[in-house]
Amino acid sequence: MASKKVRKERFKHIMSSHSQVLQIQSRAIERLIPYARNARTNSDAQIVQIAAGMAEFGLNNPVLIDPDGGNIANHGSVLAARTLAYTDVPVPSTSHVASSEQTSKQRLGGRNNGRF
């Protein structure tokens, strides 16, 4: 097992090579493209619950999209935003997502995050 100092240096290297300033933009909901093969679906009751939370606290989680506007994560939030008549949702800049392989990895990561 690597020493604590070695692990710390590896972490610094990983963070410095992958870190960037996250820029949040506003995107019109009508410009978002739902992902047809989304493995995770939300029931109508779940959409109502998400909308209730958004009505009380706002939309605090940005919607992840690919460079073409395809929805990667937070599909339920987009559906809830539509029921609340939102016209725009926050999205992070996707300039760092350059390939379809990276988009696929983000979709998979988003699915797995909900399991914790």
Looking at residue 11, what is its pLDDT? 61
Mean pLDDT of 21-49: 88
C-alpha–C-alpha distance, residues 38 and 63, integer Å: 14
Q: Is the pLDDT of residue 116 over 50?
A: no
Q: Which tens digits make up the pLDDT trace of 6-34? A: 666 766 655 555 556 678 889 999 999 98
Q: Enumerate domains of the chain plus CATH numbers.
A: 22-113 (3.90.1530.10)
Dihedral of alpha carbons 84, 89, 90, 94, sign: positive
Mean pLDDT of 56-69: 88
C-beta separation of 42 from 79 below 8 A: yes
Mean pLDDT of 101-113: 51
When pLDDT is cut at 50, 70 and 90, the band that residue 69 belongs to is confident
> Could you give the dihedral angle defined by the CA atoms of residues 83, 87, 89 and 91, in that order, rounded to the nearest 10 degrees?
140
Mean pLDDT of 92-111: 56
Residue 62 is given by DSSP the state P
User: In percent, how much of the chain has pLDDT > 90?
Assistant: 35
Instruction: List 24's β-bridge partners, or say none.
Output: 92
- Mapped onto helix, strand or coil, the DSSP state of residue 63 is coil
C-alpha–C-alpha distance, residues 52 and 55, integer Å: 5
φ/ψ (deg, to 5) at 70? -75, 135
